[in-house]
Chain A
Amino acid sequence: MIDEKDIAEFIYREAELLDTMQWQAWLDLFHPEGRYWMPLEWQQQDPVLQPSLMYEDLLLLKVRVERLAGERTFSQKPKSRCHHLLQSPRIVACVPEAGVFKARTSYIYTETRGDMLERYSGWASHDLVQVGDALKIRLKRVDLVNFDAPFGNIQLFM
């Protein structure tokens, strides 16, 4: 039976995979219909008819991951690295009978490349589903506190 502790563990594990650049293992956390979404508007409801920074399915996430290792990916010479500092996830819903698992996690994210270091603050909302014994990401939503700021390149995943 999946409990609240499992949800929190899942979220820490996800961040760890990103920080250690285990991209394939990270992709494996997604449900085949999973989405990664970064809204561009305050409390945005619609990823399709409102503008977003990212709204990607597994195919597009695979493209990103494969690109990171590409021989001709010049924006990754030198490579970026990232670090997630997470607050304890707040479990929004944990109803195993209904298959509903939701959490919201406040975080600070750092992305570095060469001498550059950029910090971002925001909240990650996870909608998870149970597949077999495991949890999978149905939707990871990343709301930056300053979603409307003009950023430079954000190359990895928050």
Chain B
Amino acid sequence: MKKYGENAEAIAALVREAEVHRDVYVDPEIFELEMEHLFPNSWIYVGHASQLAKPGDFITANIGRQPVMASRHSDGSIHVFYNRCPHKGVKIASEPCGNTGKFFRCPYHAWSFKTDGSLLAIPLKKGYEGTGFGDTQANEGLSKVKNVVIYRDFIFARLSVSGVSFEDYFGESLSTIDNMVDRSPEGKLAVQATPIRYMHTCNWKMLVENQTDTCHPMVAHESSAGTAVKVWKREQGDSTETPMAVQLYGPFMSPYEFYEQSGIRIWPNGHGHTGVANSIHSNYQDVSGYLDQMVAAYGEQRAHEILGEVRHNTVYFPNIMVKGAVQILRNFIPIAVDKTLVESWVYRLVGAPDKLYERALMYNRFINAPTSIVGHDDLEMYERAQEGLKSNGNQWVNLRRLYDGHEEQDVTAVINGTSERQMRNQFHAWAKFMTMDMGKRIEAAE
């Protein structure tokens, strides 16, 4: 029984001004529609150009359900294609990353493709003479994803042929990526570590919402961050220096007032970030030599400007979160309505002291790993939510905190840091990108 199908109205009705219906998290049909509409209509993170350092380097990814790959061509350009042989559909690349040399070769019948995706050769080419092969889509080689933008080495793609442009989609929100890149004295990031991968048995949107949920850390993480602070107080003896580990755990336990004052900024199309005035990343100990490097590279004033920006979590709708101050990107990859693969990537600030990279890696394993106690706290809540939402007692999820009844949509604003407005902002965007191409399809079918 299809309830939502191409029914834009029914989907829009799942999102009220400050509530969402539980079906957005638990209904498998909604999940399929997200894969078919929301993800193709959005700009999705594919990878980082530093993963494609040399010609022939490639990475694979999924956009919604669709397998794609990105490669570095011999002329230095980067291309994104569907990871599918034009002959019989075999996946061309099966590994997360690698180097293919001068060309891709399909393992089934050895059709080969240049690293820009174009068809290079087919064995027994004669067999296609006079068959009209030249007019087929297969003759063009690997199907290209046409809408690709590489912004400061971050590769984004939009599968839908038409839709919102990259600039209109992200707008000012790109300032978080700018800040993260600018934190390198050379203005360059590099991926050198494999991501930490963590399987979550819950809907992907729960993770995205949690990135700007500032009323849970002091509650849910009392068990981990709270215990860390408690044990340190007891064990520190006469040590005057707080270990890096305690510096990273401690701020999670900040009180509500701290989060209220640190603020949230929202942007159009569902993007937004916590930590406007200050954040849990504000008070890490200085790493010796780093400020000097930054001043040398950018000048006194600009260096302080860059380092003074300590945004906490920036959500890039729909499914990544960027943490500039510790150089982390989390990719929430939807697998099923109740299954999400989380990949947490660390970028190295090129030219900066090793200590900063050490800190970023440490943060990633403390907070984002399947072996992270902070992660255990969060996942437990998502799993309980996934279970609890089956209840018919109340079918609506409440997002009303600091709702004033006159919210404008698709605007930029700075608000109280404990507001649920960023979640409302996301769901407005969710309904928009879910339904924006539905009418058209129905018309086309008629």
Neighbour of A149 across the interface among B197, B358, B377, B379, CB < 8 A = B197
B400 CB to closest chain A CB, in angstroms?
Answer: 24
> Residue B228 at the A interface, CB < 8 A?
yes
Question: Whole-angstrom distance between the alpha carbons of A63 and B227 in the complex?
Answer: 6
Stretch of A3-11, A18-26, A43-51, A98-106 contacting B (4+ beta carbons < 8 Å): A43-51
Evaluate contact between A55 and B365: CB separation under 8 angstroms: yes
Neighbour of B198 across the interface among A38, A148, A151, CB < 8 A = A151
Q: A49-B357, A54-B369, A72-B222 are in contact. Are A151 and B227 (CB under 8 A)?
A: no
Neighbour of A67 across the interface among B200, B227, B384, CB < 8 A = B227
A27 CB to closest chain B CB, in angstroms?
Answer: 12
Specify the chain A residue showing the minimal Cβ separation from B369. Answer: A53
Evaluate contact between A75 and B223: CB separation under 8 angstroms: yes
Task: Enumerate B344-399 residues with CB–CB distance to A below 8 Å.
Answer: 346, 354, 357-358, 361-362, 364-365, 369-371, 373, 375-377, 379-381, 384
Specify the chain B residue showing the minimal Cβ separation from A55. Answer: B365
B100: chain A residues within 8 A (beta carbon): none
A-contact bits for B211-223, CB 8 A (1 contact / 0 none): 0000000001011
B222: chain A residues within 8 A (beta carbon): 70, 72
> Residue B296 at the A interface, CB < 8 A?
no
Task: Enumerate A124-158 residues with CB–CB distance to B below 8 Å.
Answer: 148-155
Neighbour of A48 across the interface among B245, B358, B373, CB < 8 A = B358
> Residue B193 at the A interface, CB < 8 A?
yes
Evaluate contact between A66 and B357: CB separation under 8 angstroms: no
Evaluate contact between A54 and B197: CB separation under 8 angstroms: no
A72: chain B residues within 8 A (beta carbon): 222-223, 226
> Residue A87 at the B interface, CB < 8 A?
no
Q: A49-B357, A70-B227, A74-B220 are in contact. Are A151 and B370 (CB under 8 A)?
A: yes
Specify the chain B residue showing the minimal Cβ separation from A41. Answer: B194
Neighbour of B235 across the interface among A51, A59, A73, A154, CB < 8 A = A59
Q: A54-B365, A59-B243, A74-B223 are in contact. Are A64 and B373 (CB under 8 A)?
A: yes
Specify the chain A residue showing the minimal Cβ separation from B377. Answer: A75
> Residue B164 at the A interface, CB < 8 A?
no
> Residue A95 at the B interface, CB < 8 A?
no
Evaluate contact between B232 and A59: CB separation under 8 angstroms: yes
> Residue A13 at the B interface, CB < 8 A?
no
Specify the chain B residue showing the minimal Cβ separation from A62. Answer: B231
Task: Enumerate B163-214 residues with CB–CB distance to A below 8 Å.
Answer: 193-201
Question: Whole-angstrom distance between the alpha carbons of A14 and B370 in the complex?
Answer: 23
B376: chain A residues within 8 A (beta carbon): 75, 153, 155
Q: A48-B358, A59-B232 are in contact. Are A153 and B370 (CB under 8 A)?
A: yes
Q: A67-B223, A152-B370 are in contact. Are A51 and B379 (CB under 8 A)?
A: no
Evaluate contact between B199 and A152: CB separation under 8 angstroms: yes
Task: Enumerate B237-268 residues with CB–CB distance to A below 8 Å.
Answer: 243, 245
> Residue B426 at the A interface, CB < 8 A?
no
B366 CB to closest chain A CB, in angstroms?
Answer: 9
Q: Is the interface of B mostly helix, strand, loop or mixed?
A: helix
Evaluate contact between B371 and A54: CB separation under 8 angstroms: yes
Specify the chain A residue showing the minimal Cβ separation from B232. Answer: A59
Evaluate contact between A53 and B365: CB separation under 8 angstroms: yes
B14: chain A residues within 8 A (beta carbon): none
Question: Whole-angstrom distance between the alpha carbons of A149 and B75 in the complex?
Answer: 34
> Residue B224 at the A interface, CB < 8 A?
yes
Q: A62-B231, A67-B223, A148-B194 are in contact. Are A153 and B369 (CB under 8 A)?
A: no
Neighbour of A50 across the interface among B193, B197, B381, CB < 8 A = B193
Question: Whole-angstrom distance between the alpha carbons of A48 and B194 in the complex?
Answer: 14
Question: Whole-angstrom distance between the alpha carbons of A41 and B384 in the complex?
Answer: 32
Question: Whole-angstrom distance between the alpha carbons of A130 and B224 in the complex?
Answer: 32
B140 CB to closest chain A CB, in angstroms?
Answer: 35
Q: A49-B361, A63-B228 are in contact. Are A150 and B197 (CB under 8 A)?
A: yes
Question: Whole-angstrom distance between the alpha carbons of A48 and B228 in the complex?
Answer: 20
Question: Whole-angstrom distance between the alpha carbons of A52 and B364 in the complex?
Answer: 9
> Residue A82 at the B interface, CB < 8 A?
no
> Residue A117 at the B interface, CB < 8 A?
no
Evaluate contact between B365 and A153: CB separation under 8 angstroms: no
> Residue A85 at the B interface, CB < 8 A?
no
B137 CB to closest chain A CB, in angstroms?
Answer: 34
Q: A59-B232, A62-B231 are in contact. Are A150 and B223 (CB under 8 A)?
A: no
B384: chain A residues within 8 A (beta carbon): 74
Specify the chain B residue showing the minimal Cβ separation from A56. Answer: B245
A120 CB to closest chain B CB, in angstroms?
Answer: 11
> Residue B341 at the A interface, CB < 8 A?
yes
A60: chain B residues within 8 A (beta carbon): 228, 245
Evaluate contact between B364 and A51: CB separation under 8 angstroms: yes
B287 CB to closest chain A CB, in angstroms?
Answer: 14
A40: chain B residues within 8 A (beta carbon): 193-194, 196, 365
B362 CB to closest chain A CB, in angstroms?
Answer: 8
Question: Whole-angstrom distance between the alpha carbons of A148 and B196 in the complex?
Answer: 8
A73: chain B residues within 8 A (beta carbon): 223
Question: Whole-angstrom distance between the alpha carbons of A72 and B231 in the complex?
Answer: 15
B-contact bits for A64-94, CB 8 A (1 contact / 0 none): 1011001011110000000000000000000
Specify the chain B residue showing the minimal Cβ separation from A64. Answer: B373
A74 CB to closest chain B CB, in angstroms?
Answer: 5
A149: chain B residues within 8 A (beta carbon): 197
A62: chain B residues within 8 A (beta carbon): 231, 235
A111 CB to closest chain B CB, in angstroms?
Answer: 11
8 A-B contacts (beta carbon < 8 Å): A57-B245, A59-B232, A59-B243, A62-B231, A64-B373, A72-B223, A148-B194, A150-B342
